[in-house]
Amino acid sequence: MRKKGFTLAEILITLGIIGVVAALAAPALTKNSGQAKLGPALSKFVNTFENASGLMMQQEGMTKLIENSSDSLPMEQISQHMVVVPSSESYTYYAPGGGEGGTVDSASVYVLKDGSIMAISPVESVTEFTDKGAFKGIVADIIYDINGNAGKNRAGKDVFKFVLDNSGTLVPYGSSTYKYLYSSFETVCSADADASLDAGLACTGRIADNSWKADY
């Protein structure tokens, strides 16, 4: 009587098929896992920063981050309400495909407790909004890297941009809110363009408008 079971050859063939299927599925699973992390990380940063700026303004009795044109952005006071440390290194980031990007001096770079980085570039002059409701005028550009300074620093992949309103509110670059503030804005999200830095950074707005979920 023949015993029921599998031969060694059958087992090896089955394992081989499983291995091929797993290899084909792995890149998609990795991509989906990475996408799933982007929205929550960006939302958390926005909440952390806005809470800190709100507490600082309340503590100091301020209605604006910059009350007078001669004032500087009070990042030292804001950072006291966040778990951050100043960075000793400048921060450089690139377009999605590795093309030309930008650099922020170390004096304006901060490392958060989770290892992520925010790099702040104050604007030269604040133009007040007179017809934008609660918004009071942009005072700084903020680059946020969810992986810190150890990764490839690519826009739309781990690097994202916000603008800081004088009310202490962070506005995702390229979002519907950003387009409301700047009606001439035309750049759309592209996470693979080699030289289009703005297109990669505009993915911040795409994620924000999609209820903090990456869909690209």
Rounded to whole angstroms, how far apart are CA atoms 144 and 153? 10
Q: Give yes or no for residue 126 having a pLDDT over 50.
A: yes
Express each pLDDT in 91-125 by its tens digit. 999 999 988 889 999 889 999 999 999 999 999 88
Q: Give yes or no for residue 26 having a pLDDT over 50.
A: no
CA distances from 204 to 19, 33, 215 (A): 36, 18, 11
Tokens 């700047």 correspond to 182
Express each pLDDT in 36-51 by its tens digit. 899 999 999 999 999 9
Q: Give yes or no for residue 59 having a pLDDT over 50.
A: yes
pLDDT of 27 reads 52
pLDDT of 214 reads 95
pLDDT of 32 reads 47
Rounded to whole angstroms, how far apart are CA atoms 141 and 108? 11
- Other beta carbons less than 10 A from residue 161's beta carbon: 26
Of 36, 33, 155, give the one whose Cα is nearest residue 93: 155
CA distances from 9 to 12, 23, 153 (A): 5, 21, 47
Higher pLDDT, 24 or 154: 154
Residue type, 116: S
Task: Return the SS3 of 171.
Answer: strand
Taking the model in full, what pTM does it have?
A: 0.82
pLDDT of 86 reads 87
Find residue 66's DSSP bridge partners: none
Q: What is the mean pLDDT of residues 50-64?
A: 95
Express each pLDDT in 182-213 by its tens digit. 998 999 999 888 778 999 999 999 999 999 99
pLDDT of 95 reads 94
Express each pLDDT in 127-166 by its tens digit. 899 899 999 999 999 999 999 987 789 999 999 999 999 9
Q: Do 57 and 49 touch, CB atoms closer than 8 A?
A: no
Of 172, 178, 201, give the one whose Cα is nearest residue 188: 201
CA angle 124-48-190, nearest 5°?
65
Task: Return the SS3 of 151.
Answer: coil
Q: What is the mean pLDDT of residues 9-27?
A: 66
Q: What is the mean pLDDT of residues 54-68?
A: 93
pLDDT of 85 reads 87
DSSP at 152: -
Tokens 């600082």 correspond to 56
- Other beta carbons less than 10 A from residue 72's beta carbon: 10
Q: Do 138 and 163 touch, CB atoms closer than 8 A?
A: yes
